[in-house]
Amino acid sequence: MKFMALWVLTALCTLLTLNGCGTFAGNPTALPTVVLGSSNATPQASGGGVTASGIVVPAHQAQMASALGGTVKSVDVAVGDPVKAGQVLVRLEGSETLEAAVEAANLQLLTAQQALQTLNDNADQARTAAQVRLANAQAALDDAQKRRTWMNYRNGSQSDIDAAQANLILAENTLRTAKDNYSSVANLGETDLNRAAALSALAVAQNAYDKDLANLNYLLAMPNKIDLAQAQANLDAAKAEAANAQQAYDKLQNGPDPDALALAQEQVKNAQAQLAASQSDLADLDLVAPFDGTVSRIDINDGEWATAGQTILVLADLSHLQVQTTDLSERDVPKISTGQAVSVLIKALNQNVSGRVSDISPLADTLGGDVVYQTTIDLDTLPPGVRAGMSVDVQFGQ
């Protein structure tokens, strides 16, 4: 086998030397993956199957970074330590500030939830209050409409006017009698009791007459412009209040005010989002293992500054190893399919292990100017001593 490989390499070198003086035209063409052990000296991808080089890799590997920037409080693991999913690996400082933010967000959420609960609990009471307001508004509107209607007529009804006229006639007669009585004693001295009594009766009669006359004149008159404008303004205000009261009552027929309910619900959602964000920031201070594995690299120490997004630790699942090819040519990849059986030679152990293709990359890489596709292989067994990073040769079955 070693002799055959040496022969093939010698032939390739000779071919390249013979063409070295010529001018290369066009794009370089990827060479097919070399098949060793064939009776034909020309590299090929058929007959004996396809081979490729590869490397043993963990099935799961995570380059772990902090979502926040900050000073490292503690690195709680060392390279080579086995860890469990959920275990804290690295802690950042700043928990006190973020814990306060979580408490504030909790309080905001509680306040919003209580406001929503109160709105629902008081729905019946609010509807009753709206009904009372509507009844009062309708009564006020009725009064305002009557007062405005009266402004189209005299100030008094006919019965009021007739009564006022009769009162004025009586007052006029009383005033005439009082004047006659006073005339008969007007020449007496100012201190005379009869003269004083007659003068007092005259004054009372004159005052009663003046009031009855003013009342009759008011009842006979039409309202003035100021009174009319005031009555119209009162009517417009009563109409607006009745409309608003009706609208408010209608909103509460099926529960709380829809607008107030929607606002209260949005306030709860916003408070929940703020709480979730604060809790997430607090949780991001701890770098937590996403799966069971082994710490394979640590790039930071206690007290150092960690930039957001900076890889500070690598975690690998070394209990589940796979093989990934590194140089499978674009000419050979059409011959490979998922589920295809393979034989893997682990060079360091000089041991062959069977396996199957579990994945073929949909995107190509380049290797020394050649186009290659990475394939992933699941091994049927893991031989003792196999470690991530060991190189392998892969023989794809037909």
Residue 28 above 70 pLDDT? no
The 10s digit of each residue's pLDDT in 328-341 is 999 999 999 999 99
Residue 99 lies in a domain: no
Same domain, 76 and 199: no
Same domain, 194 and 342: no
The 10s digit of each residue's pLDDT in 332-389 is 999 999 999 999 999 999 999 999 999 999 999 998 889 999 999 999 999 999 999 9
Half-sphere exposure of 124 (CA within 13 A, CB side): 1
- Two tokens, residue 147: 């007062």
Residue 352 lies in a domain: yes
Residue 109 lies in a domain: yes
How many helices (H) and strands (E) the chain has is answered by 7, 16
Residue 71 lies in a domain: yes
Residue 117 lies in a domain: yes
Same domain, 334 and 350: yes
Residue 270 lies in a domain: yes
Query: 208-230 b/e with 16+ CB inside 10 Å = b?
Result: bbeebeebbeebeeebeeeeeee
Per residue, what are the HEC states of 318-374? CCCEEEEECCCECCCHHHCCCCCEEEEEECCCCEEEEEEEEEECCCCEEECCEEECC
- Two tokens, residue 83: 């860890």
Strand ranges, E, within the chain: 50-58, 61-65, 70-75, 82-83, 88-92, 286-288, 293-298, 305-306, 311-316, 321-325, 341-346, 351-360, 365-367, 370-372, 375-379, 391-396
Q: What are phi and psi of 307, to 5 degrees?
A: -85, 140
Which of the four pLDDT bands, split at 50, 70 and 90, describes residue 398? Answer: low
End-to-end CA distance of the chain: 21
Same domain, 178 and 245: yes
Same domain, 183 and 308: no
The 10s digit of each residue's pLDDT in 203-229 is 999 999 999 999 888 887 777 788 888
Q: Which three-class secondary structure state does DSSP give residue 209?
A: helix
Whole-number pLDDT of residue 15: 33
Residue 100 lies in a domain: no
CATH of the domain at 73: 2.40.50.100
Residue 19 above 50 pLDDT? no
- Kindly state the percentage of the chain with pLDDT values over 90: 66
Same domain, 371 and 263: no
Among 29-43, 128-142, 348-362, the minimum mean pLDDT is found in: 29-43
The 10s digit of each residue's pLDDT in 98-117 is 999 999 999 999 999 999 99
Residue 76 above 80 pLDDT? yes
CB contact set of 314 (below 8 Å; sequence gap of 6+): 61, 62, 63, 64, 295, 296, 297, 298
Same domain, 254 and 295: no
Rounded mean pLDDT of 35-48?
38
| CA 50 – CA 65 distance, rounded (Å) | 39
Place of tokens 């000779």: 14
Same domain, 69 and 52: no
- Kindly state the percentage of the chain with pLDDT values over 70: 87
Same domain, 327 and 348: yes
Same domain, 268 and 352: no
Residue 3 above 50 pLDDT? no
Same domain, 339 and 391: yes
* Domain coverage including residue 359: 2-59+320-396
Residue 11 above 80 pLDDT? no
Which of the four pLDDT bands, split at 50, 70 and 90, describes residue 4? Answer: very low
Which of the four pLDDT bands, split at 50, 70 and 90, describes residue 17? Answer: very low
| CA 109 – CA 101 distance, rounded (Å) | 12
Residue with the bigger pLDDT between 96 and 33: it is 96
Helix, strand, coil share of the chain (percent; to 5)? 45, 20, 35
Residue 239 lies in a domain: yes
Whole-number pLDDT of residue 14: 35
Rounded mean pLDDT of 187-214?
91
As for how many domains the chain has, the answer is 4
Same domain, 189 and 149: yes
The 10s digit of each residue's pLDDT in 268-321 is 999 999 999 999 999 999 999 999 999 999 999 999 999 999 999 999 998 899
CATH of the domain at 40: 2.40.30.170
| CA 303 – CA 73 distance, rounded (Å) | 6
Place of tokens 């009266």: 150
